[in-house]
A and B are shown apart, each in its own frame.
Chain A
Amino acid sequence: MNQPLPRRDFLKTTTGLLTGIVVAGSPLASIAKVRIAPGRRRTWAVPMSALTTAEAATLMAMARTIAPHDKLDDAAYALVIKAVDEGAVEDERVRKTIKEGIAGLGAGFAVRPESDRVATLKKIESSEFFQTMRLKTLQVLYSTPMAYAYFGYEGEAFSKGGYLERGFNDLHWLPEVPVEDGGPLPV
């Protein structure tokens, strides 16, 4: 069972912080989920409650190794770490798993070459720490508005009238389907 939630204590202070620069022309500036630090409109900051800045940075490197998309902004990965941090606040057992897992990766993990990071992670692939981080990375990363924009996914369509008139059949590098095997556009 979980211990009585120490949530309030954790929320009192921000322990760590992940920050980054908003790249010109990126969709980030308009995405409310990333807090833009007051007075510094061109940077973003995601505060941590359970994790220190160094721990969060290690997890960032881990998430980038699990799901490496070089041109996908750090802010998307920061939301993964934020979700991990929230899980660590809610549940003492998760916090222990994460903190011990980070310690096990060793100092300097975040700045080691990718091949080293992959080798390190392969050794702990069956651990609860790795599996938790893998799942959280996949669950959160590809749900972020930054990922939608990066991968070109247009998402929810009802509010825009579906894709009926927005490209559901705009592929022209293959032959068209005879109407008897497809169907007419609705009127």
Chain B
Amino acid sequence: MATFAFKDDSVVVIIGSGAGGGTLAHELTRRGIKVVLLEAGSRQSPDSFSQVPGEAFTQLTWLDARTQSGDWGVARDFPTLPVWHCKTVGGTTVHWTASCPRLQPWELRARSTYGAVAGTSLIDWPITPEELDRYYAIAERRMGVTRRNNIPGLPASNNFKVMYAAAKKLGYKQVHTGHLAINSQSFDGRGFCIQQGFCVQGCKMAAKWSTLYTEIPDAEATGNLDLRIESTATRIENDHGPNGRVNAVIYRDNNGHEQRQAARVVCVAGNAIETTRLLLLSESSKFPHGLANSSGQVGRNYCHQITGFVWGIFDKPIYFWRGATIAGVIEDEAINDPRRGFVGGYRMELVALDLPTLPLVGLPYGWGRDFASILENYRNLAGMFINGEDLPRSDNRITLNANVKDAYGLPVAHIHVDEHPNDRALRKHAQGQMSRMYEAIGAKRVVVGPTPPASHNTGAARMSADPRDGVTNGWGRTHDIANLFISDGSVLTTPGSANPTLTIVALALRQAEYIGEQMKAGHV
């Protein structure tokens, strides 16, 4: 691994080492570009992943304070944890469940497809489906996604057998074990999935793609990566010149000391929440409302996808915890059919939760005999998860909360979400279909769980053709500042119904090409 000087202004500084930042770091370094990668968390490894769910949660999760408001269920059910993502090398790719569907062409044209929906800030993506598909294909090869490129699917688990039988009973056709970045056979020097059921705690087999043990070591091997762990960016500085270029990142290092790293290019990939916060914290006389925020769009249009659990209780054992967490999907409802009472679509994905986590995250608030009776049936549970499109709204936004400060005295992020009626209609439809499915094959009872803390954080620095509508252009370059890029889920113009990581990786691959060309041409 390389060490670059604080004053070396030829480096690209990337903030965050997850799906976007970690991939970008590899792609730039392999092109011979020097990268300083700042990661707020510490570095774990498959050997160090705790398999005690509570410990693993603490080991991997971003637990610094956030506040929230709005009428979404998360504010009621998880007031202190609005979002659930990681703070560790590899970011949220350490705890993700590796579902890799593509966005469909019509999903990139959300405004054109859905029309004007009152109370939303829908726009179309500034890039074409054909363009994105090229990079999806590269990302899928890189990550070893199943059911692509002749890689077989994962074998069917007990939980999937229940889902499959239930889905077929209702006439669904597109039902399989999913497009997963989990090795169904050895791939890329990593072993195959041995069906541990501990995807969320970190895969000790490294069978699940994570930048922690793929992109980042590859980047280190180039000799062009300076990874600085436990280093929290607090401010991006600009040169106050006529072009408003950014020129350095201020951060706290692993001893809590403030450092200043000069930069030729800065790429922010801190997950939508921290990316927004950092831009807003980086206000200056030139950017009084936050960096790259002349449009006022930074932090707005925050999307999180419609998610939620549905459990079927059967009279026979299923042992749903045995096996890859999300190895199953029904794709028939990932369509736009307004006759259902809403625009946009959703996927139904397999899910299970370990015993300690189920009562805390997976069940509706409760206590007493009825609550306990669900857990009494733990062996006999089957589970599904909704992953649906939510619609962007201007006032669903991330702001700074001046009343709550972090360890460095800086305001924390505040997340506000009011659901659109379309969000509620989509969720209700999905919960209804899942309930009917389980009942159709003899479930004794169906339990509709809560919306868990958001993990699919997108939209807060969205790509837009018109600079007034968003924060970045189609390359993730900020409209305001030529050498400032956003490289995480924040740039997704709309979320669609696909889990976001594959799209984040595809966009990072594409952005790396662009940054390389721009640097070579001397444009940044």
Interface residues of A (CB under 8 A from B): 65-69, 118, 121, 134, 138-139, 142-143, 147-148, 151-158, 161-164, 166-171, 173-177, 180-187
Interface centre among A148, A164, A166, A174 (most CB of B within 10 A): A174
Q: Tell me which of A67, A168, A171 contacts B195 (CB under 8 A).
A: A168
Docked-complex contact B54 and A139, CB < 8 angstroms: yes
- B228 located at the interface, meaning its Cβ lies under 8 Å from any Cβ of chain A in the complex: no
Docked-complex contact B153 and A166, CB < 8 angstroms: no
* A24 nearest CB across to chain B (Å): 23
Instruction: List chain A residues, Cβ under 8 A from B51.
Output: 155-156, 158
A-B contact pairs, 27 of them (CB 8 A): A66-B368, A67-B367, A67-B375, A134-B367, A138-B359, A139-B356, A142-B356, A142-B359, A142-B375, A147-B355, A152-B378, A153-B354, A158-B51, A164-B195, A166-B322, A169-B158, A171-B158, A174-B441, A177-B160, A177-B177, A181-B156, A181-B177, A182-B156, A183-B156, A183-B177, A186-B155, A187-B185
Q: Tell me which of A151, A156, A169 contacts B198 (CB under 8 A).
A: A156
A-B pairs with the 6 shortest C-beta distances?
A162-B194, A182-B156, A183-B153, A163-B322, A156-B51, A177-B156
Instruction: List chain B residues, Cβ under 8 A from A164.
Output: 193-195
Q: In whole angstroms, what is the CA distance A148 to B357 when docked? A: 12
* A71 nearest CB across to chain B (Å): 9
Instruction: List chain A residues, Cβ under 8 A from B127.
Output: none
Q: Tell me which of B164, B196, B359 contacts A158 (CB under 8 A).
A: B196
* B199 nearest CB across to chain A (Å): 12
* A132 nearest CB across to chain B (Å): 13
* A82 nearest CB across to chain B (Å): 15
Q: In whole angstroms, what is the CA distance A118 to B152 when docked? A: 52
**Residue in chain A with minimal CB distance to B365:** A134
* B349 nearest CB across to chain A (Å): 15
Docked-complex contact A163 and B197, CB < 8 angstroms: yes
Docked-complex contact A142 and B355, CB < 8 angstroms: yes
Majority-rule SS of B interface residues: loop
Docked-complex contact A68 and B372, CB < 8 angstroms: yes
Q: In whole angstroms, what is the CA distance A135 to B51 when docked? A: 21
Docked-complex contact B197 and A182, CB < 8 angstroms: no
Instruction: List chain A residues, Cβ under 8 A from B369.
Output: 68
Q: In whole angstroms, what is the CA distance A162 to B165 when docked? A: 25
* Among B16-24, B83-91, B313-321, B339-347, the stretch in contact with A: B313-321
Q: Tell me which of A143, A163, A186 contacts B323 (CB under 8 A).
A: A163
Q: Tell me which of B53, B146, B165 contacts A183 (CB under 8 A).
A: B146
Instruction: List chain A residues, Cβ under 8 A from B321.
Output: 153-154
Docked-complex contact A184 and B152, CB < 8 angstroms: yes
Q: How large is the interface on B (under 10, 10 to 19, 20 to 34, 35 or more residues)?
A: 35 or more
* B73 nearest CB across to chain A (Å): 17
Within 8 A of A (CB), among B151-172: 152-158, 160-162, 164-165
* B180 nearest CB across to chain A (Å): 10
Docked-complex contact A163 and B356, CB < 8 angstroms: no
Instruction: List chain A residues, Cβ under 8 A from B304.
Output: none
Docked-complex contact A65 and B194, CB < 8 angstroms: no
Q: In whole angstroms, what is the CA distance A143 to B185 when docked? A: 33
Q: In whole angstroms, what is the CA distance A147 to B176 when docked? A: 33
Interface centre among B195, B317, B372, B376 (most CB of A within 10 A): B195
Q: In whole angstroms, what is the CA distance A22 to B454 when docked? A: 43
Docked-complex contact A183 and B378, CB < 8 angstroms: no
* B265 nearest CB across to chain A (Å): 40
**Residue in chain A with minimal CB distance to B46:** A158
- B425 located at the interface, meaning its Cβ lies under 8 Å from any Cβ of chain A in the complex: no
- B6 located at the interface, meaning its Cβ lies under 8 Å from any Cβ of chain A in the complex: no
* A47 nearest CB across to chain B (Å): 23
Q: Tell me which of B162, B368, B378 contacts A153 (CB under 8 A).
A: B378
Instruction: List chain A residues, Cβ under 8 A from B375.
Output: 67, 69, 142, 151
Docked-complex contact A182 and B177, CB < 8 angstroms: yes
- B232 located at the interface, meaning its Cβ lies under 8 Å from any Cβ of chain A in the complex: no
Instruction: List chain B residues, Cβ under 8 A from A139.
Output: 54, 356, 360
Q: In whole angstroms, what is the CA distance A20 to B350 when docked? A: 41
* A181 nearest CB across to chain B (Å): 4
* A145 nearest CB across to chain B (Å): 11
Q: Tell me which of B54, B194, B195 contacts A143 (CB under 8 A).
A: B54
Docked-complex contact A183 and B152, CB < 8 angstroms: yes
Q: In whole angstroms, what is the CA distance A112 to B355 when docked? A: 30
Instruction: List chain B residues, Cβ under 8 A from A184.
Output: 152, 155, 184
Q: Tell me which of B161, B204, B355 contacts A174 (CB under 8 A).
A: B161
Q: In whole angstroms, what is the CA distance A175 to B164 when docked? A: 9
Instruction: List chain A residues, Cβ under 8 A from B367.
Output: 65-67, 121, 134
Instruction: List chain B residues, Cβ under 8 A from A161.
Output: 194
Instruction: List chain B residues, Cβ under 8 A from A68.
Output: 368-369, 372
Interface centre among A148, A164, A167, A183 (most CB of B within 10 A): A183
Q: In whole angstroms, what is the CA distance A121 to B158 when docked? A: 39
Q: In whole angstroms, what is the CA distance A181 to B177 when docked? A: 6
- B205 located at the interface, meaning its Cβ lies under 8 Å from any Cβ of chain A in the complex: yes
